[in-house]
Structure 1
Amino acid sequence: MILAAALALSACGGGGNGGAVFPFLPSPPTDGTQPPVVQPPVPAPTCAVAIPADAPLTAIPEIQGTGDRSPMADQTAATVRGVVVGDFQAIPNGDTRLNGFFVQSLVPDADPLSSEGLFVYAPSNATRVKVGDYVQVSGAVTEYGQTAGANAKPDSLTQIAGTVDKPVAVTVCGSDIPMAATAITLPVESETTLERYEGMLVEIAQPLAVSELFELGRYGQMVLALNGRQFNPTNGNAAATHAQNLLARIVLDDGNSRQNPNPIPYLSSADTHGTRRMGDMTQKVRGILSHNFAAYRIQPTEESTFVQANPRPDTAPAVGGTLKVASLNVLNYFTTFQDGTTAAGQTGQGCTLGSGAPSAGNCRGANNRTEFDRQQAKIVAAIAGLDADVIGLMEIQNTDVATDNLVAALNARLGAGTYDSVRSGSFGTDAIKVDILYKPARVQRVGGLVFPTGTDLTDYVAPSGRPPLAQRFAVVGNNGGFWFVVNHFKSKGSCPSTGDVDQGQGCFNLARTQQATALSSFVDKLKAQGESDVLMMGDFNSYLLEDPTRVFEAAGHESLLKRLPANDRYTYVFGGETGSLDHAYASASLAGQVSGVGVWHINADEPTAIDYNTDFTTDDRYAPTPFRASDHDPVQVGLNLAADAAVTQPILGGTIPATARAGESYVVTISDAQPGGTATLTSLSVDWGDGSAPTAATGPGTVAHTYTAEGSFNVVITLTNSAGQTATQSGTVAVSRIVVIPPGAPDLFFSEYVEGSSSNKAIELYNPTSATLDLSLYAVKLYSNGASTPTNTQALSGTLAPRATLVLANSNATAAFKPAGTITSSVVNYNGDDALTLEKSGNVIDRIGQVGFDPGTEWKSGSVGTLDQTLRRKSGIQAGDPNPLQPFDPALQWDVLPLNTSDGLGSHTTN
């Protein structure tokens, strides 16, 4: 509870209403159960200032009451007297801190359930007070931070606060009065127990462990728990429930309301090696007990000493064996950034959800190149430190571009060819996927990637959109083989209001259990292909005692993390509770070949503030080390695989787009083509399914074909090796017709094109007819970097009056490029080498550029080009150019204007 307002200060003196001697009164018990301790009488200093008639002298406990809200709040004013036990006033020309101070009754009353402390809101214009001062304060009783809503639970601190027309009055009547701290012990009896100490000087003299660091860098606070870090109840480490965990913890704050404190408090050193890890211990905290942001917290009045009980592990734990397999969540490793740029230097780009139109809104990783470089350095350091022969990745961008980038960075550090990827392409319906890296010198792939099919696929993918990835490997040397299956289950977040709600195992437990059942079925099918040794790893988003683990164990798989000591079974911290969301499950035949399992605790124990992000980093503690490379710890498994007979299987991987247009170039990508073992490649071809001759290929790359008719066709990529073995990949393509309308008939067309600096890009559409056009028939499509299929589409809506214009602009363009009525659209995220089409009812009626062709930087004819210029349609043009596949000469129909010309947007004239 707090006493707040603008302050009016009065002088102190003798006589008046002060000078009373408080009687013998019992002090409040420390936890509501201990007997009271009688204190001797203490003479109170004299306060010479009269007590306001409208703010009668009131004991602090009367204001606090015995509930979480003052019975006097927002109803009356009061005068209180007490000793300053915590000074958190603003520093002149510096931090605002808490903008006030805490006062406490010189002698407590007889009610152990009511607090003796109170906060006085005293902003920067207040006269200074100091700890030990005896003060008289008059003002209005209020609740700071009261949650709104009729049924909302109060989340507030009781205070005395001034009003606009009546500021708080503070009188310093004495000084240097010592006050003893009230002892508090954890666990408390209930969630309301600590309310009786709100605003008081308290001390917890018990072993306390750091149990949560998520907000250390943001708000300067961390969670401390009795005797040791707290584990999630369903992880199996301790018998405590979540409710019991809450009663045995306290928030240690920094006595400051600022965000992004500089320096970050409580770190072990002032340099970039400074940290504070989960499990670090202190034996005592002392300060004021306050209540803010739904938690009781200590605002410290003296520094706590921490022991680094959980030092950083500089090396990954030894797991033995002749082969090491690992998994690591790479925390949204994207090479397309949230600002629309890419690691390759492109601008105006976006991310897809496995397929479809790209959008920067789908990108989840680094905000920009600066953040990405920091992220990459940490991820590379972590993977290099793991030194795994095979590693499964979670949360990598759903393209091979991101994986190839990571492989290149790893090999730049470790040596050319150290790692390779399985080239999984894009799959599923999420912006992220799982992927696999391996060391070709240590293992070889046996056959290609395998995805689940049928109900195994639909049941697994439905909750998350992220299919598992399976690859069979054989050890170089003894051909010992195993299946490696990487997973990323549905998360516990974004809880629904009904249905699959939290029933003790987090939200969507039913969905994760369904995924576990589907995965077990898929693994059975993998075993049927001649290899029973299976290792499933990844982020299963479920703890060790939850239903998905029970499903795997019932199917005969061993949960390998259960081999570790209980306190080592964790990879993640959430809400102050530690547990393992990442797992390794071994099939029955593989379990006996497991030499060891380990978790490298480089991420979950570290403060979020030291990761790669640059936002909210006033005190930037980044270092290119593996620590806090991600939010999950990596898991490792050592294997001693028994020798197997050599198995040769060809490997084939590729991407078969699902749609095409007759008359347009259709491109299939072959990402991987290996004959397998010592065999050689005999043939590689693509059968287009339309009766035309298959197109031969010599290896990975692109193969193009032009369909002449619409329809549905089965495209098959086939590889044959010298041993007579084949590998195939097939997919169905739906081919639609493209109708080219002869020029001449007036219709909507592009009338202005702006390719300005930075995001200053816009296109103008003009209706040259005498009729109002139904815009729902039209769409604008963007074809980036020579693409033959759209990379972004903007469907239009509404109507457009005769001889009126409609402007589409980049959302980040300046106001000059957004006349009244402008629509902001990602279809305008183009550069000079990107083509645009305008379609009506699916038919092209106008274009800028040539679809399916990359001109390099721009289409240009003389001084007229599509880069860094404004183009305005010549006044004689009444209809668009409906030939998107033909070479584009901008000088034929367009006049050129200087860079960033925008004065013509929103109006157009024709002859």
Structure 2
Amino acid sequence: MPSRSSARLAALTVAAVCSAASTVVLTSPAHADAVRVHDIQGTTRISPFAGQKVTDVPGIVTATRTYGSAKGFWLQDPTPDADPATSEGVFVFTSSTPKVAVGDAVTVTGTVTEYVPGGTSSGNQSLTEITKPTVTTVSTGNAVPAPVVVDEDTVPDAYTPAGDPATGNSVNGLPLAPSAYALDRYESLEGMNVQVADARVVTATDPHSELWVTVKPWENRNRRGGTVYGSYDAQNTGRLQIQSLGPVADFPKANVGDTLAGPTTGPLDFNQYGGYTLVARDLGTLKNGGLERETTRKQSRRELAVATYNVENLDPSDSTFDRHAAAIVHHLQSPDIVSLEEIQDNNGATNDTTVDASQTVTKLIDAIVAAGGPRYDWRSVDPVDDQDGGEPGGNIRQVFLFNPERVSFTDRAGGDSTTAVGVTEAHGKARLTVSPGRIAPADTAWKNSRKPLAGEFVFRGKTVFVIANHFNSKGGDQGLTSQYQPPARSSETQRHAQATAVNAFVKDILSVQKNADVIALGDINDFEFSGTTKILEGGGALWSAIKSLPKSERYTYDYQGNQQVLDQILISPAIRRGGDFAYDSVHINAEFHDQISDHDPQVLRFRP
């Protein structure tokens, strides 16, 4: 990741190029009567003064940031112009602790810079700043400009304009239309003192003391208080990240559905971890919404319960085994088969040649027994060292847990990290050539990614094929607030190839036995409406069972205020046609600040 200084240099270069056509060329240093904050901000995302020196820009200090690598203060002009597209606030980057206080009237001389959080390769929008400043205090104790209220009446329903094809779909050069588009509205307030009131939390407090609220109480709301992301065209315009300028220890520990009661006020910033962010000088009071963890129902004697659960880089050194065990036993009701994702090897992130994960799995099984659950048996295939992605040295893989009192595993020798599982016919029925086995491990679709684990189970005399997946992550995709609209989703390319491989394998089973019970499940890292899912389902081979739920209940993950589907259980036609199945996304993690994984588990119950 580029350093702040290198990113600034790169951003400056890009800004100069992007704004060349509209750059104001100054023959002498700008003066206060000629250049004010709204002139610097301009009517597009790139300042017309980018790369130039401005002199004696006046304003009132509305907030200071004295921590981290982005020390500085926010300056706001108390005398706005009449153009709603031009912000009256700007961040002054001092690099060291600023020597001004809130309420100081100052003048600033410095260089206007377009800083791109995360570096230009991230595709992020830039933040207009004044850098290398010389600050003169004119007076102290002045009133801070009244905050601009951000609410459902002031934020448009449309999210963003389409970018200009001539600039790679960048929106940087487009005139801001704050009454038409939400992102334009937020950009027109960049650096200004803003306020939200009685805002509902839609992503819980994370370890970095950040949370997300919505300023639109009814926008795609679900019954548990979140905001559901249901399509690429429903970005949820009311989402806003909240940070604090105060001590981290005082930041509220909020869950989804809680409320920041009263006003939350501070400057509107832009960062690489979520885009537009209200950095609160004053935080609302946390009001508990009473959210509780869900518990699914117990499967009947004749129902097979199959679950998927991403346990987030679990290794023997973690302190979460008891809580994971309690989740499996009490909230998931001890499913017959559990596909675990992100099981690490026996020494976790220590990057040596260790790939065995028996200590990790055994510790979890023992914890499940201690929690009152069954003593699960397990199957997996160790990966080749450092070839499956994830945390370096961790060697994450999928693991099958199964309750031997309810289900048996059909073992066929020969499955290893490099041997591909195949499908054969025996007495008119499909069978795997190896079990457990990995699907096409040499295929480039799985480069630096987890290979699917296939296994053959028997429940009440009926064979069930289960494929445990953990597809390529969304890392590298441009964010929803990217300067490029629509944002590029580069990670899809590999997931599409992975979905193609899994779909082909399922079709191999169904070509031998069209009524076979096949389940493909796991962390698909993509939405139920995505191209990845369509490829997985292709030709009617599979169907994502989360689509049996109402749209407002389709989520397994909560990211930047959007509750969304990343984990799925897909079923073959025989299971779906039977109609006697039940799917449940069991919300125990994603909505809570004290989560043990960032994913919620899911359970499918059916009668083979």
TM-score (norm 1): 0.47
Partner AA of 1:245 in structure 2: Q
Query: What is the match of residue 40 of structure 1?
Result: none
Q: How does 1:173-192 map to 2 (within 5 A)?
A: 175=141, 177=143, 179-184=145-150, 185-187=154-156, 189-190=180-181, 191-192=183-184
Q: CA deviation at 1:466?
A: 1.4
In structure 2, the CA distance between the partners of 1:161 and 1:55, relative to structure 1 (3 Å rule), is: farther
Question: CA separation of 1:149/1:541 partners in 2, compared to 1, >3 Å: closer, same or farther?
Answer: closer
Q: Work out which of the two has the higher radius of gyration on C-alpha atoms and give 1 or 2.
A: 1
Q: In structure 2, what residue type is equivalent to 1:546? A: S
State yes or no: 1:401 paired with 2:358.
yes
Determine the structure 1 residue equivalent to 2:245.
Answer: 255
Matched residue, 1:203:
195
For 1:142, the equivalent position in structure 2 comes to 112
Candidates 276, 279, 283, aligned match of 1:303:
283
- Asked which structure has the greater RCO (Cα within 8 Å, sep 6+), the reply is 2
CA contact (8 A) 1:254 1:265 kept: yes
Query: 1:483 and 2:464 equivalent?
Result: yes
Mapped partners of 2:231, 2:531: distance in 1:
19
Give the secondary structure class of the aligned counterpart of 2:195.
Answer: strand
CA 1:486–1:113: 2 relative to 1, 3 Å? same
Which of 232, 256, 261 aligns to 1:241? It is 232
Q: Is the 8 A contact 1:418 1:439 kept in 2?
A: yes
Looking at structure 1, the residues matched to 110 and 477 of structure 2 have their Cα atoms a distance apart, in angstroms, of 42
- Aligned equivalent of 1:157, options 128, 143, 158: 128
Partners of 2:381 and 2:122 lie apart in 1 by: 50
The residue number in structure 2 matching 1:533 is 517
Residue 437 of structure 1 pairs with residue 401 of structure 2 = yes
Q: Quote the offset at 1:483 in angstroms.
A: 0.7
Aligned residue for 1:332, secondary structure, equals strand
* Displacement after TM superposition at 1:282 (Å): 4.8
Which residue pairs with 1:312 in the alignment?
292
Call closer, same or farther: CA 1:229–1:400 in 2, change over 3 Å.
farther
Please give the alpha-carbon distance, in whole angstroms, between the structure 2 residues aligned to 1:492 and 1:230.
25
**Take 1:512 and 1:137, find their aligned partners in 2: how far apart are those partners?**
57
Q: Please report how far the alpha carbon of residue 488 of structure 1 lies from its aligned counterpart in structure 2 after TM superposition.
A: 1.0
Residue type of the alignment partner of 1:596? A
TM-score (normalised: structure 2):
0.68
Distance 1:332 1:516 in 2: 24
Please give the secondary structure, in 1, of the residue aligned with 2:313. strand
Work out the CA distance in 2 between the residues paired with 1:540 and 1:97: 35
- The aligned counterpart of 1:65 is 42
Corresponding residue number in structure 2 for 1:631: 598
The code of the aligned residue for 1:254 comes to S
SS at match of 1:383: helix
1:634/1:413 CA distance change after superposition, 3 Å: same
Instruction: Spell out the pairing of 1:534-573 with structure 2 (5 A cutoff).
Output: 534-547=518-531, 549-550=533-534, 551-552=536-537, 554-555=539-540, 557-573=542-558
Q: 1:468 to 1:631 in 2, by over 3 A?
A: same
**Cα distance in 2 for residues equivalent to 1:55 and 1:328:** 61
Q: How far off its partner does 1:170 sit?
A: 0.8
Match of 1:218 in 2: 208
The 5 Å alignment of 1:821-900 reads: none
CA distance in 2, matches of 1:149, 1:391: 42
Alpha-carbon displacement from aligned partner over 1:863-898 (angstroms, at most 9, x marks no partner)? xxxxxxxxxxxxxxxxxxxxxxxxxxxxxxxxxxxx
Q: Which residue of 1 aligns with 2:422?
A: 453
- Note if 1:388 corresponds to 2:388: no
CA displacement, residues 821-849 of structure 1 (integer Å, 9 cap, x when unaligned) = xxxxxxxxxxxxxxxxxxxxxxxxxxxxx
Aligned-residue offset at 1:435: 2.3
Question: Which of 410, 429, 438 is the aligned partner of 2:367?
Answer: 410
Q: Which amino acid aligns with 1:521?
A: K
Q: Distance in 2 between matches of 1:439 and 1:151?
A: 45
CA distance in 2, matches of 1:67, 1:317: 50
After superposition, give the CA deviation of every residue in 1:149-173 in whole Å (9 maximum; x if it has no partner).
79987622323743xxxx4211216
Deviation, structure 1 residue 539: 2.5
Query: How do 1:16-415 and structure 2 match up within 5 A?
Result: 56-57=32-33, 58-84=35-61, 86-88=62-64, 90=66, 99-120=71-92, 129-131=101-103, 135-143=105-113, 145=115, 155-159=126-130, 161-162=132-133, 167-172=134-139, 175=141, 177=143, 179-184=145-150, 185-187=154-156, 189-190=180-181, 191-204=183-196, 209-211=201-203, 216-218=206-208, 220=210, 222=212, 224=214, 226-227=216-217, 241=232, 245=235, 247-255=237-245, 262-263=248-249, 265-268=251-254, 276-277=255-256, 280-282=258-260, 285-293=264-272, 295-309=275-289, 311-313=291-293, 315-318=294-297, 320-322=299-301, 323=303, 324-335=305-316, 372-385=317-330, 386=332, 387-396=334-343, 397=345, 399=356, 401-402=358-359, 404-406=361-363, 408-410=365-367, 412-414=369-371
Deviation at 1:376, TM superposition (A): 2.7
Judged with a 3 Å threshold, the aligned counterparts in structure 2 of structure 1 residues 433 and 509 are, in CA distance, closer, same or farther, namely: closer
**1:450-505 alpha-carbon deviations (Å, 9 max, x no partner):** 8732799765762225142222222xxxx3534140321431446699xxx96799
Change (3 A) 1:309 1:522: farther
Change (3 A) 1:549 1:208: same
Q: Which structure dedicates a bigger proportion of its chain to helix? A: 2
Q: 1:569 to 1:507 in 2, by over 3 A?
A: same
Could you tell me which of 479, 492, 499 is aligned with 1:513? 499
* Structure 2 runs not aligned, ≥5 long: 1-28, 157-177, 222-226, 346-354, 389-394, 425-431, 433-437, 479-486
Report the Cα distance in structure 1 between the residues aligned to 2:136 and 2:539, rounded to whole angstroms. 71
Q: CA deviation at 1:306?
A: 4.8
2:282 partner SS: coil
Q: 1:420 aligns with which of 368, 376, 379?
A: 376
1:170 to 1:483, Cα distance in 2 relative to 1, 3 A: same
Structure 2 Cα separation of the partners of residues 104 and 572 of structure 1: 38
| SS of residue matched to 2:496 | helix
Structure-1 separation of matches of 2:217 and 2:404: 47
Q: 1:68 to 1:407 in 2, by over 3 A?
A: closer
SS in 1 for 2:382: coil
Secondary structure of the corresponding residue to residue 112 of structure 1: coil
Q: Which amino acid aligns with 1:202?
A: V
> What SS is found at the alignment partner of 2:526?
coil
SS for the counterpart of 1:511 is: helix
C-alpha separation between the residues in 1 aligned to 2:83 and 2:503?
58
**Structure 1 residues 581, 588: closer, same or farther in 2, change over 3 A?**
same
Aligned AA (1:453): G
Output the aligned Cα RMSD. 4.3
SS of corresponding position for 2:497: helix
Aligned match of 2:509? 523
> 2-side partners of 1:222 and 1:636: how far apart?
28
Q: What's the CA shift string for 1:588-637, capped at 9, x where partnerless?
A: 44343745221121222234xx5xxxxxxxxxxxxxxxx32x23211112
**Paired amino acid for 1:599:** S
C-alpha separation in 2, matches of 1:406 and 1:262 = 34
Distance 1:537 1:182, change over 3 A: closer
User: 1:686-726, CA deviations, whole angstroms, 9 ceiling, x for partnerless residues?
Assistant: xxxxxxxxxxxxxxxxxxxxxxxxxxxxxxxxxxxxxxxxx
Match of 2:586 in 1: 600
In 2, Cα distance between the equivalents of 1:395 and 1:638?
Answer: 23
Q: 1:130 to 1:407 in 2, by over 3 A?
A: closer
Query: 1:227: how far off?
Result: 3.5
**Preserved contact between residue 556 and residue 588 of structure 1 (Cα < 8 Å):** yes
Q: What secondary structure is seen at the aligned counterpart in 2 of 1:512?
A: helix
For the structure 1 residues 585 and 63, does the alpha-carbon distance in structure 2 shift closer, same or farther, using more than 3 Å as the test? Answer: closer
Aligned-residue offset at 1:206 = 8.1
Contact 2:212 2:239 in 1 (8 A): no
Contact 1:55–1:78 (CA under 8 A) maintained in structure 2? yes
The change in CA–CA distance for 1:525 and 1:310 in structure 2 (over 3 A counts) is farther
Determine what percentage of the aligned residue pairs are the same residue.
22
Question: Residue 391 of structure 2 aligns with which residue?
Answer: none
